[in-house]
Amino acid sequence: MPTLRDIKRRIKAVHSTSKITKAMKMVAAAKFRKAQQRMLEMRPYADRMNLILSSLAPAAEAEIHPLLAVRPRRNVEVIVLTSDRGLCGAFNSNILKAASNHISNMKKDGFKVTTSVIGRKALDYLKRRKVSLRKSWVGISGRISYANAQEIAKDIIESYSSETVDEVILIYNEFKSVVAQKIVVSRLLPLAPIEATGEALPVFNFIYEPSKEDIFNNLLPKNVEIQIFRALLESQASEEAARMSAMENATKAANDMINALTLQFNKARQASITKELMDIVGGVEALKG
């Protein structure tokens, strides 16, 4: 049975942990507000740009730009986006589980799959499972810049243009709310066709200025950069929200443990006092006898 000193020492240790998790929650909340603002500003631009190009691409000739080429699916590149750090609940484990299932299903369907990762957690996870990685980018979480998206997009565009891969898929967490994130499997290349909805742009015989080639040469690579940058920002906001929730739950659990230990300490102290009183009463009775 633990002594009073042991219980008191444990209460102090849990109290220190509670202070740390509370501070981490406050830091995550500050980072989340900044990440959420950047993400919300990027969403409409990324959505509209992808909508416009996806609507225009079917009417354009594939010879104009390599990114317009649609080939039979044989070689598929899957990019998995996670964080570099942990302590964010199930944020990383959910995305890694979904990515593993998606890769396994594609291999069962007969596709040759290559894997690239963004984030140290995905890198460590797949390395432990002896998965061969084509490319990895780490050290991005917490300091995302457009240059990061440009670097990743350049590598993807080169692979697709050289016909090394026939399709590029990005798997990441999309921010929904502070307590909910949605796993998204997004096709980066070739451009996903727009379904016949009211949102799609009508196909006209457009007049291009300066020229169709110049427009697609500039906008198609730009769109890949924008979609990757948007995914990075979505993942960053989701990560900080998940970390904030995880630290709040950890703080609550620590406080509950402190209350339980305090009750145990009080009971043990009461038992100790009662025992001492009984010893004193017993000694007095012995002297009387």
Would the pLDDT of 11 be above 80? yes
Mean pLDDT of 99-109: 91
Are residue 59 and residue 102 in the same domain, yes or no? Answer: yes
**Average pLDDT, stretch 147-169?**
92
Tell me, what CATH number does 113's domain have?
Answer: 3.40.1380.10
State the residue for tokens 């042991």. 6
Same domain for 254 and 174, yes or no, is no
pLDDT-derived band at 21 (thresholds 50, 70, 90) equals very high
Could you tell me where the DSSP H helices lie in 81-208?
A: 91-108, 120-128, 146-161
pLDDT of residue 114: 92
102 and 45 in a common domain: yes
**What's the whole-model pTM score?**
0.85
Q: Average pLDDT for residues 9-24, to the nearest whole number?
A: 91
Judgement on whether residues 254 and 203 belong to the same structural domain of the protein: no
> Helices (DSSP H) in the chain: which residue ranges?
4-56, 91-108, 120-128, 146-161, 212-288
Count up the domains in the chain and report the number.
2
Same domain, 144 and 210: yes
Q: What is the pLDDT of residue 211?
A: 76
Contacts 24+ apart (CB under 8 A), 258-263: 258/11, 258/14, 258/15, 258/18, 261/7, 261/10, 261/11, 261/14, 262/11
Q: Is the pLDDT of residue 282 over 80?
A: no
Between 2-6, 99-103, 187-191, 278-282, the lowest mean confidence (pLDDT) is in: 278-282
> Looking at the structure, do residues 191 and 223 belong to the same domain, yes or no?
yes
Region 8-21: mean pLDDT is 90
pLDDT of residue 197: 45
pLDDT, position 1? 64
Catalytic residue, from 46, 88, 194, 242: name it: 88
Domain of 130, in residue numbers:
28-245
52-60 mean pLDDT: 74
pLDDT in tens, 208-227: 777 777 888 888 899 999 99
Residue 289: per-residue pLDDT: 59
pLDDT at 57 over 80: no
Are 171 and 252 contained in the same domain?
no
Whether 168 and 67 share a structural domain = yes
- Amino acid 243 reads R
Q: Does 153 have pLDDT greater than 70?
A: yes
Who has greater pLDDT, 144 or 202? 144
pLDDT at 62: 64
Q: How far apart are the first and last CA of the chain?
A: 35
Q: Are residues 182 and 221 in the same domain?
A: yes
* 3-state secondary structure at position 159: helix
Mean pLDDT in residue range 117-131 = 91
One domain, residues 205 and 284: no
Average pLDDT in the 15-39 region?
92
| pLDDT above 60: residue 162 | yes
Pair 184, 279 in one domain: no
Is the alpha carbon torsion for 63, 205, 54, 175 positive or negative? positive
Q: What is the pLDDT of residue 53?
A: 83
For the cut 50, the answer to whether the pLDDT of residue 196 exceeds it is no
What DSSP state is assigned to residue 164?
A: S
Same domain, 87 and 165: yes
Per-residue pLDDT, 121: 94
* Domain CATH code at residue 269: 1.10.287.80
Look at residue 59 in the predicted model and tell me its pLDDT: 66
Residue of 187, 143, 194, 174 whose CA lies nearest to 239: 174
Please say if 73 is a catalytic residue: no
